[in-house]
Amino acid sequence: MEPNAGGVQSSRKSNRVNGVLLLNKPAGMTSNEALQKVKRFIKADKGGHTGSLDPAATGMLPLCFGEATKLCAYLLEADKTYRVTAQLGEATDTGDADGKITETQPVPVLDYAAWQVILREFVGNSDQIPPMYSALKINGKRLYELARQGKTIERKARKIYIRLMDLIEIRDTRLVFRVHCSKGTYIRTLVEDIAKSVGTVAHTTKLHRESVGDFNADDMLDLESAELVAKEDPDRLRARLLSPDAALNKWPSCTLQKEDVIKFNRGQPVNPGCKDLGFVTVYTVKNKFLGVGESLGKGIVTPKRLFTLPD
């Protein structure tokens, strides 16, 4: 939920593995623990994860290996979609089911249509104050470290954008909805704000991330399945990896001729006549991914992130 890229590099002899595995992270495990397990399964020498999920949360966790670790910074910027289950009428100190109940309030009786209207009022731009139980750093300290000491400090509101809020179920005091949101959105805080808007309190009991950016949920693999496949043949699991540029497949792209490929790989600007402005993916005429460039206008593209992939 809290956006944070993580990764490690091992000194032991491993394999040059390049690609992205979309893990359906199980509950009760940190994002880094999940990464380390899969990294061992495929015997990769370098790996990272992006868009950390809280230990209790489940769902899509992109694991990047080899050259694909260079994608982490771009994936942090991606929108996320979550399926959220909230318990209305009870607030906890952490905002989720792991915390202690700190307050109870009666829950107004509202029908499905009324809740749908309420949720959709949160669509659009808004300011959100990060929760104390978060990994956000202020003056070098993680907020959750201060919270565990019983301290509460002032936090600045941050801009977030909600693209979609859709009610799935309302049953007694349980609220289930789907939210498509920008980076940096704290779902626990969103649940609390929704409850506050109808005069009650709430906390998040389940959180499942359905998507990150343009990745397809159908490409996710359970940790148990990944382990079984790896035991039979690690190459079969490596074959499940998406190409490093898979996360960027909806970006505009430019194709370079041989002489421009040499210049681009040396970090020099090229002029392939690219019409799109902003970040672009760059390929050879044989469709080999070279990296990320920035189109500056007048057809000029300057390298921003180079990838060294086998032919």
pLDDT in tens, 114-128: 999 999 999 999 999
Strand-pair category, 174-181 with 80-88: antiparallel
- The 10s digit of each residue's pLDDT in 110-161 is 999 999 999 999 999 999 998 888 777 887 778 888 888 888 888 888 999 9
- Given 45, 54, 127, 276, the catalytic residue: 54
Residue 34: pLDDT over 70: yes
Average pLDDT, the chain: 90
Q: How confident is the model at residue 15 (pLDDT cuts 50, 70, 90)?
A: low
127 is catalytic: no
Domain residue spans in the chain? 6-77+214-238, 80-212, 251-306
| Domain at 80-212: CATH code | 3.30.2350.10
- Class of residue 79 by CB neighbours under 10 A (exposed 0-12, middle 13-18, buried 19+): middle
CATH fold match for the domains 80-212 and 251-306: no
Q: Of residues 214 and 4, which shows the higher confidence score? A: 214
Beta bridge partners of 96: 204
Using a 10 angstrom Cβ sphere, with 0-12 exposed, 13-18 middle and 19 or more buried, the burial of residue 191 is: buried
Judge whether residue 280 has pLDDT over 70.
yes
- Residue-wise pLDDT tens digits, 50-89: 878 888 999 999 999 999 999 888 888 889 999 999 999 9
Residue that has been written with the tokens 């380390």 in this structure: 36
Q: Is the domain defined by 251-306 classed in CATH 3.40.50.150?
A: no
CATH class of the structural domain 6-77+214-238: alpha beta
List the structure tokens of 27.
């509950």
In this structure, what token pair is assigned to residue 291?
């990296």
Q: What is the pLDDT of residue 86?
A: 98
Quick one: angle between helices 112-120 and 187-197, nearest 10? 120
